[in-house]
């Protein structure tokens, strides 16, 4: 039988899934005004022709991913290299 984060019975798995769903529902309700504002802003941008075309979408996502990965490496530069194992140090020694 498969388990959900340590749940060993169907009842425990169901209980975990229901509590997770409840947490997600609470988060959504608490953040609904901000989510609605972001959606409204996005729709307004699309109506003004500021959206990303389907033919450019994959390239745009790849660029965002690259920027995010670069951002992580940049922020890790503030962590002294001796904290990282030598093989995992995100920037050249020097």
Which tens digits make up the pLDDT trace of 17-42? 888 999 999 999 999 999 999 999 99
pTM: 0.44
The per-type count for the chain, helices as H runs and strands as E runs, is 2, 0
- Is 17 in contact with 4 (CB distance < 8 Å)? yes
Question: What's the rounded Cα separation, in Å, for the pair 13 and 74?
Answer: 40
Structural domain boundaries in the chain: 8-51, 54-94
Residue 90 has pLDDT above 90, yes or no: no
For the stretch 39-84, pLDDT in tens is: 999 999 989 988 888 889 899 999 989 888 877 665 555 555 555 5
């Amino acid at each position: 039988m498969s388990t959900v984060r340590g749940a060993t019975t169907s009842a425990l798995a169901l209980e975990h899934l229901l509590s997770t769903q409840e947490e997600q529902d609470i988060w959504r309700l608490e953040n609904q005004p901000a989510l609605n504002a972001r959606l409204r802003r996005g729709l307004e941008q699309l109506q003004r022709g500021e959206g990303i075309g389907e033919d450019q979408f994959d390239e745009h996502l790849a660029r965002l991913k690259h920027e995010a990965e670069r951002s992580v490496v940049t922020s890790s530069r503030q962590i002294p290299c001796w904290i990282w194992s030598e093989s995992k140090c995100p920037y050249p020694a020097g």
